[in-house]
């Protein structure tokens, strides 16, 4: 350890280490079955690994173009055209990013000014509010409440001011597993019509939507697409969260600003991974079958937990489902999660971590992005909880 006199003036004084790192470390220490992080513990396609290997062997080991490999941008634009009937310009409206996180960060940094307000819904993925705060902007938080976590559109309307620069959405939603409906889209369209509000839409679980529901991407709706930055992730779609490759779609004028940040934050995403992903994108089954793949996992975990005393909330999409335990214990969700790790050997995430003020509804988040044996073993341990 260095002896240093520096105590920097923190830009994020209220922020600690992200909950996903804290819980993953605890899970490792107690060798708990890890149903916490939304990261698969099963392998990605062998072909994808081979494609990356072949790209490296073919010498594709230097910088990719700043905006992304043309073949990959073409594949992304073709997918948006096929699935969402939206025609993004391959050169100017599609950018490959070094993760969806980088896309969100670049978009917020490029488009949000000091003094601006950004509407954000809680529970919120834990990076959103710090990214807004770092710009000197004000997060205007609208709380979604159990059990349905529906967006209170009248409250959204009441919170729109001349300073509202951006509205941050996430569908399917982490951590609640809710998805936006056609009614939500109608409300959103009416509320933003005639304003200059930018929608930043985190759609990293776009291919994980259950029970035949439609993914209401902003890309689907011309009036919304014209004011939206749509962010998504190859990591979530192709089981390679460690590759850190995502992308964003936006109209040219917005994208030009986003690229000004991206070019200096990362310059470009990993080259061999982009070659590999472009080849896998030629096989749409990989993403078209993903909803069914994860629905089976959701159902397996739901059935396996039927004998547990936890009260499960239905999940409509994403890698996650919520469970309430307030009828079992007076503990905070953090204390309950800690006890589940230490005494029951199962790691989950306390939902209070997704609220800036730590709102605790005695709900935990379970990730079912795990192989079936892990889901069954985790559920078996949770079934030993006593009511
Ligand atoms: N998005 C994933 C989750 O919510 C992983 C986040 C992370 O580890 N940074 O669990």
Q: What is the pLDDT of residues 111-158, one digit of tens each?
A: 999 999 999 999 999 999 999 999 999 999 999 999 999 999 999 999
- Sort residue 211 into left (φ over 0), alpha (ψ -120 to 50) or beta: left
Q: What atom in ligand 1 is closest to the CA of residue 125?
A: 4
| The two three-digit tokens of residue 112, written as one number | 């949000």
Instruction: Note the pLDDT tens digit of each residue in 179-200.
Output: 999 999 999 999 999 999 999 9
Q: What atom in ligand 1 is closest to the CA of residue 241?
A: 5
Residue located nearest, by CA, to atom 2 of ligand 1: 38
Residues lining ligand 1, Cβ inside 6 A = 18, 20, 37-39, 174
Mutate to test the pocket of ligand 1, among 19, 24, 39 (most ligand atoms within 8 A of CB): 39
Residue 20 Cα to ligand 1 middle (Å): 6
pLDDT at 299 over 80: yes
Q: How far apart are CA 380 and CA 370, in angstroms?
A: 15
Mutate to test the pocket of ligand 1, among 38, 123, 130, 353 (most ligand atoms within 8 A of CB): 38
At residue 386, the pLDDT reads 79
Residue 363 Cα to ligand 1 middle (Å): 17
Burial of 152 (0-12, 13-18, 19+ CB in 10 A): middle
Residue 81 Cα to ligand 1 middle (Å): 29
pLDDT at 387 over 80: no
Residue located nearest, by CA, to atom 8 of ligand 1: 20
Confidence of residue 352 (pLDDT cuts 50, 70, 90): very high
The pTM of the full predicted model, rounded to 2 decimals, is: 0.97
Confidence of residue 3 (pLDDT cuts 50, 70, 90): confident
| The two three-digit tokens of residue 54, written as one number | 């072949």
Q: How far apart are CA 139 and CA 166, in angstroms?
A: 10
Confidence of residue 237 (pLDDT cuts 50, 70, 90): very high
Q: What are phi and psi of 275, to 5 degrees?
A: -60, -45
Q: How far apart are CA 63 and CA 317, in angstroms?
A: 35
Confidence of residue 166 (pLDDT cuts 50, 70, 90): very high
Q: Which of 108, 189, 121 is nearest to 151 (CA)?
A: 121
Mutate to test the pocket of ligand 1, among 40, 241, 351 (most ligand atoms within 8 A of CB): 241
Instruction: Note the pLDDT tens digit of each residue in 315-329.
Output: 999 999 999 999 999
CB 206 within 8 A of CB 217: yes
């Amino acid at each position: 350890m260095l002896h240093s006199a520096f105590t920097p003036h923190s830009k994020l004084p209220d922020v600690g280490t992200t909950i996903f790192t804290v819980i993953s470390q605890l899970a490792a220490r107690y060798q708990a079955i890890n149903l916490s992080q939304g990261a698969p513990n099963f392998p990605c396609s062998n072909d994808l690994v081979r494609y990356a290997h072949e790209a490296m062997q073919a010498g594709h080991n230097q910088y990719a173009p700043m905006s992304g490999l043309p073949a990959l941008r073409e594949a992304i634009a073709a997918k948006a055209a096929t699935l969402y009937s939206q025609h993004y310009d391959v050169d100017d409206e599609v950018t490959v990013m070094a993760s969806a996180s980088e896309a969100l960060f670049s978009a917020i940094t490029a488009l949000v000014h000091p003094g601006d307000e950004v509407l954000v819904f809680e529970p919120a993925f834990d990076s959103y509010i710090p990214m807004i705060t770092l710009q000197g902007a004000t997060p205007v938080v609208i709380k979604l409440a159990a059990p349905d976590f529906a967006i209170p559109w009248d409250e959204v309307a009441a919170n729109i001011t001349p300073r509202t620069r951006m509205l941050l959405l996430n569908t399917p939603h982490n951590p609640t597993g809710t998805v936006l409906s056609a009614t939500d889209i109608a409300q959103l369209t009416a509320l933003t019509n005639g304003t200059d509000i930018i929608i930043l839409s985190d759609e990293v679980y776009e291919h994980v939507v259950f029970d035949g529901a439609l993914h209401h991407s902003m890309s689907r709706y011309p009036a919304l697409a014209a004011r939206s930055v749509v962010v998504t992730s190859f990591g979530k779609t192709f089981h390679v969260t460690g590759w850190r490759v995502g992308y964003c779609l936006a109209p040219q004028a917005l994208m030009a600003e986003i690229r000004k940040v991206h070019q200096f934050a990362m310059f470009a995403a990993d080259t061999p991974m982009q070659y590999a992903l472009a080849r896998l994108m030629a096989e749409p089954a990989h993403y078209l079958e993903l909803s069914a793949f994860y629905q089976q996992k959701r159902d397996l975990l739901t059935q396996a937990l039927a004998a547990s005393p936890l009260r499960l909330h239905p999940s409509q999409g994403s890698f996650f489902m919520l469970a309430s335990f307030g009828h079992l214990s007076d503990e905070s969700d953090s204390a309950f999660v800690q006890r589940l790790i230490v005494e029951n050997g199962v790691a989950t995430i306390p939902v209070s971590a997704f609220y800036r003020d730590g709102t605790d509804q005695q709900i935990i988040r379970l990730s079912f992005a795990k192989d079936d044996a892990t889901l069954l073993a985790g559920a078996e341990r949770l079934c030993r909880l006593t009511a």
